[in-house]
């Protein structure tokens, strides 16, 4: 994998859009969102970005409630609006926040850009270590510790899913830079800094969520996004999005692109230790955890 440049050494200046960063205010007319997921997921990131853009009051939990786990396992994101039943799929949740539906062609291009995640498990230690740092946001320490212990199951789930099921797609993987050429053309065709024009919309949130995922555990597409001469407009768009979401708490891309907002808060050493304790427990219980993971992989539609 090419060596990645930190944002302090990146020379592209996307400052043309510096004035577009809004003051986020909570909209009382929008639903209160209870979101389940982890900010390493591109689709969870898309929902969080949309909620932030709308100013919708929301909370993030990293362990699913039992009723959700029984039906959908650790599939994420899931959102409950004003206490209503949980619903899945980031695009559908964004529509509930009054953003436009995404076209099938755009969605296909999002999945093409997503394929870089296949490299997240190239190094098992790095994969689990980066997840251990993500932590949980609950204000109660006992609940945070519980959730960090339980998060290890989802981490093992996604590690095995990528290694033993999704990894077979690597044979059809295209060049990292090519994965974003569709979006370069789309950005050249719009008037404004975002795919949605003057303000971000569903494709912005989903593509930027993919980039946060790529940067949370750096994969080859990050280097392509930094250096590929064909992706100048995409780099400008990343800068515009980082300006727009300068107050957003889940940005991993600031380490690689300017402007460089603060990274997400890391779990405390105690919370990381509990996560690793949970990981050791899940691995020790392979006769139970692996069949359970296999059940969810085969029975939960995705």
pLDDT tens digit sequence for 86-117: 999 999 999 999 999 999 999 999 999 998 88
Report d(CA 215, CA 47) in Å as an integer.
17
Token pair belonging to 155: 């981490």
**Alpha-carbon dihedral angle through residues 17, 98, 41, 191, given to the nearest 10 degrees:** -30
- Domain range annotation of the chain: 102-299
Describe the crossing of helices 202-216 and 42-54 by its angle, rounded to 10 degrees.
130
Weakest mean pLDDT among 82-91, 95-104, 160-169, 195-204: 160-169
Sequential DSSP letters for 58-121? EEEESS--HHHHHHHTT-S-EEEETTPPPEE-HHHHHHHTTPPPPPHHHHHHHHHHHGGGGGTT
Mean pLDDT for the chain overall: 87
pLDDT band of residue 190 (cuts 50, 70, 90) is very high
Q: Residue 3 has what pLDDT?
A: 47
User: Is-contact 256 242, C-beta < 8 A?
Assistant: no
Place of tokens 């929902």: 47
Q: Residue 163 has what pLDDT?
A: 85
pLDDT band of residue 168 (cuts 50, 70, 90) is low
**Residue 136, SS3 per DSSP:** coil
- Report pTM: 0.88
Contact partners, residue 244, CB within 8 Å, separation at least 6: 17, 20, 21, 22, 53, 194, 200
**Residue 237, SS3 per DSSP:** helix
């Amino acid at each position: 994998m090419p060596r990645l440049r930190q944002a302090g050494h990146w020379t592209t200046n996307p400052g043309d859009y510096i004035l577009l960063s809004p003051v986020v205010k909570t909209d009382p007319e929008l639903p209160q969102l209870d979101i389940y997921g982890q900010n390493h997921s591109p689709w969870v990131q898309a929902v969080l970005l949309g909620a932030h853009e709308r100013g919708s009051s929301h909370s993030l939990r990293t362990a699913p409630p039992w009723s959700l786990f029984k039906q959908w396992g650790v599939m994420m994101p899931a959102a409950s609006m004003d206490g209503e039943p949980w619903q899945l799929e980031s695009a559908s949740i964004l529509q509930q926040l009054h953003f436009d539906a995404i076209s099938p062609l755009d969605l296909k291009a999002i999945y093409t850009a997503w394929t870089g995640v296949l490299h997240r498990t190239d190094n098992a230690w790095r994969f689990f270590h980066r997840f251990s740092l993500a932590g949980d946001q609950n204000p109660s320490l006992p609940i945070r510790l519980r959730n960090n212990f339980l998060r290890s199951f989802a981490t093992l789930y996604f590690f095995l899913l990528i290694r033993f099921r999704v990894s077979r797609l690597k044979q059809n993987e295209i060049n990292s830079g090519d994965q974003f050429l569709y979006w370069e053309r789309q950005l050249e065709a719009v008037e404004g800094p975002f795919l949605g024009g003057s303000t971000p919309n569903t494709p912005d949130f989903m593509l930027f969520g993919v980039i946060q995922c790529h940067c949370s555990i750096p994969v080859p597409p990050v280097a392509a996004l930094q250096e590929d001469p064909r992706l100048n407009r995409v780099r400008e768009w990343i800068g515009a999005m980082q300006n727009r979401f300068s107050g957003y708490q889940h940005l991993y891309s600031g380490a690689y692109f300017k402007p460089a907002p603060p990274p997400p808060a890391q779990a405390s050493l105690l919370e990381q230790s509990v996560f690793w304790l949970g990981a050791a427990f899940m691995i020790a219980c392979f006769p139970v955890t692996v069949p359970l993971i296999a059940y969810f992989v085969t029975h939960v539609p995705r």
